[in-house]
Amino acid sequence: MTETLPLVKLDILSDPICPWCYIGKTLLDRALAEEGELPFVVEWHPFQLNPDMPAAGMDRRTYLETKFGGKDNAVRVYAQIAEHAEKSGVPIDFEAMKRTPNTTDAHRLIHWAGLEAKQSPVVDALFQAYFVEGKDIGDHSVLADVADKAGMDRAVIERLLSGDSDRQDIQDRDAHSRKMGVTSVPTFIVANQHVIPGAQPPELWAQIIADIRSQLRSDQSANEDAEDTRLTH
């Protein structure tokens, strides 16, 4: 008889311009591919690395040097990221990335994708557009392309992006996460209980999934025993 276990909620707080989020998603996907049967129901949540970023974004070099206190520090930080990405087999073309966008609109798109059960494909496409193709994912035409490739209605997305639909909701959810103590991303929350910060290797995810399945089997067995007891009394 085929084992049937309930799916567990996996909430992921992320920003599509965060290299560690991209690396973390790639490593999680590898672990899930090994599992065959997916153990999680995944929902993506907004967190902006730069909530005060100008709406039009800014030159990436200027942004990095400002954020990290000069060119040398920026180069050192991103050299470490590049090294980790290379070791993990995650492609990133830092030279192609010319602008750092405000990601509010990208988060709005991820939210709308969730209404159509297309969040993960859209998140993947945003990472691909930014980190591999060097596109400005604050640009509405780029976001419309991402939506279209994911099977969403391009015209609807263009219309939504031209207005303020869900903009305040994204900002409120971001602020709520900070109030709850989230300070960096990616942050993974398993079953509303266990917080896993950072880009974790597939081996750790494999252990987490094994532990979850063991607990679910135990709970399932206990429930069956309780039901048997109830029926015999």
Tell me what pLDDT residue 1 has.
Answer: 40
pLDDT in tens, 150-191: 999 999 999 999 999 999 999 999 999 999 999 999 999 999
Query: Which residues 6+ apart lie within 8 Å of 233 measured at CB?
Result: none
Query: Which residues 6+ apart lie within 8 Å of 36 measured at CB?
Result: none
| pTM for this entry | 0.91
In the chain, the percentage of residues whose pLDDT exceeds 70 is: 94
User: Is residue 136 predicted with pLDDT exceeding 90?
Assistant: yes
Q: What is the CATH number of the domain that holds 201?
A: 3.40.30.10
User: Is residue 143 predicted with pLDDT exceeding 60?
Assistant: yes
Query: Which residues 6+ apart lie within 8 Å of 202 measured at CB?
Result: 27, 28, 30, 31, 34
| Structural domain of 190 | 8-231
Q: How many domains does the chain have?
A: 1
205 in a structural domain: yes
Tell me what pLDDT residue 226 has.
Answer: 64
Tell me what pLDDT residue 11 has.
Answer: 97
